[in-house]
Copies of this chain bind each other. A is one copy, B any other.
């Protein structure tokens, strides 16, 4: 069965590709540029992951939704809003939240699925141990699956979120089990040469590795210990 995987190039999407691969799906990899700061580095990670899984170029797509940057409202796309340092104990939605971003990504994936005949769309959303984005909740994906069921001609395409209930340390362990190429991934929201170690995304990733007792293979400018 054909499956589209949304691949940002980060750890979560890499493990998600590994899950789709382990399920014996024929992989179609989709990368989306939405004007985020670290786009070039993420695109490189996407290409490295596609190469690792030997996905032919005809089964990859990279596309651009620059209007999300034009709409603004997020530190990821608007350079006038600073990327805040992580506060992993806060319950507020961080400045890196891109308004309604995942709906854009899922829409592109579902359109492509309808045309290429894929019946599954994999996305590496994480809920338990996430930054608190509203579009990472399990009920969001339940609701989106209903939209896909009633809003497509096919009617049998399903969004799959294989790691939504895992903590980051469990994701790291699952990556190791599946031999996912974590050294090729990029998670930092802030820099493209060496991961900063202090943005939301670096903090969640580092804490996951620390709790799993595994050394993160990528290089960091600083590696704080997170609780």
Q: Is the CB of B147 within 8 A of A134?
A: no
Is A140 interfacial (CB-CB < 8 Å)?
Answer: yes
Among the listed B61, B108, B148, B150, which residue makes an inter-chain contact with A104, where contact means beta carbons less than 8 Å apart? B108
- Would B115 and A99 count as touching, CB distance under 8 A? yes
Q: Chain B: which residue is nearest A104 at the CB level?
A: B107
Interface string of A66-109 (1 = CB under 8 A from B): 11101111000000000000000000010001111111101110
A153 pairs with B99, CB closer than 8 A: yes
Chain A, residues 132-165, CB within 8 Å of chain B (1/0): the string is 0011010110011011111111010000000000
Q: Is the CB of A102 within 8 A of B135?
A: no
At the interface, yes or no: A214 with Cβ under 8 Å from chain B? no
Chain B residues closer than 8 Å to A152, beta-carbon distance: 99-100, 134-135
CA distance A93 to B155 in the complex (A): 13
A99 nearest CB neighbor, chain B only:
B114
Decide: A73 and B114 in contact? CB cutoff 8 A: yes
Q: How far is A59 from B115 in the complex, measured between Cα atoms in Å?
A: 34
Chain A residues bordering chain B, tally (CB within 8 A):
44
Copies in the complex: 2
Q: Report which of B71, B93, B106, B151 forms a contact with A111, defined as CB distance below 8 A.
A: B71
A134 in contact with B150 given A61-B70, A63-B67 (CB within 8 Å): yes
**A110 on interface, CB distance cutoff 8 Å:** yes
Is A112's beta carbon under 8 Å from chain B? yes
How many angstroms from the CA of A149 to the CA of B110 in the assembled complex? 20
A155's nearest neighbour on chain B, judged by CB, is: B134
Q: A65 in the interface, Cβ–Cβ < 8 Å?
A: yes
* CB pairs A–B below 8 angstroms (23 shown): A61-B67, A61-B70, A63-B67, A64-B67, A65-B67, A97-B153, A99-B114, A100-B152, A102-B151, A103-B103, A103-B106, A103-B111, A104-B104, A104-B107, A104-B111, A134-B150, A134-B151, A134-B153, A137-B151, A140-B147, A143-B150, A144-B147, A144-B151
